Amino acid sequence: MNDAVTRLLGLGLRAGRVVIGVSGVRAGLQRGKLACVVLAADAGQRTHDKVARLAQAKGVPLVKGPDAARLGAGLGRPPVQAVGVEDRALARGLTALAEE
């Protein structure tokens, strides 16, 4: 499942519809631009506090992804704790994967 999550995020990244990193995700949530948020399985407590609470307050679904190193590697980046998805169809795909 986690490989499918990183593959979908990679597609979104190439389409320019993905925000990488905690600060970018928080800014996207505050502006109401994100359709879902993927948090690394090993995201720190502070990241959870900052991102998960804001996402819940805004009614944006959270998806638990692979650990930060694998999430980052799947996106061609160093370890990543949070990824925001702007594309609604991509977000639906990710949330469907998370429910499997």
The domain segmentation of the chain, as residue ranges, is 2-99
CA 70 to chain centre: 13
Calculate the CA 16 to chain-centre distance.
14
For 73-93, the pLDDT digits (tens) are: 999 999 999 999 999 999 999
Cα distance between residue 72 and residue 80, in whole Å: 5
Q: What pLDDT is attached to residue 1? A: 63
The stretch 33-53 carries a mean pLDDT of: 93
Length of the chain: 100
Rounded mean pLDDT, 48-71? 93
17 vs 3, more confident: 17
DSSP H or E stretch at residue 79:
none
What is the distance between the alpha carbons of residues 78 and 100, in angstroms, rounded to a whole number? Answer: 28
Which of the four pLDDT bands, split at 50, 70 and 90, describes residue 24?
A: very high
Cβ neighbours of residue 54 under 8 Å, at least 6 residues apart?
A: 26, 29, 30
What's the mean pLDDT in 16-42? 95
The CATH number assigned to the domain with range 2-99 reads 3.30.1330.30
In angstroms, the first-to-last Cα distance of the chain is 8
Amino acid in position 51: V
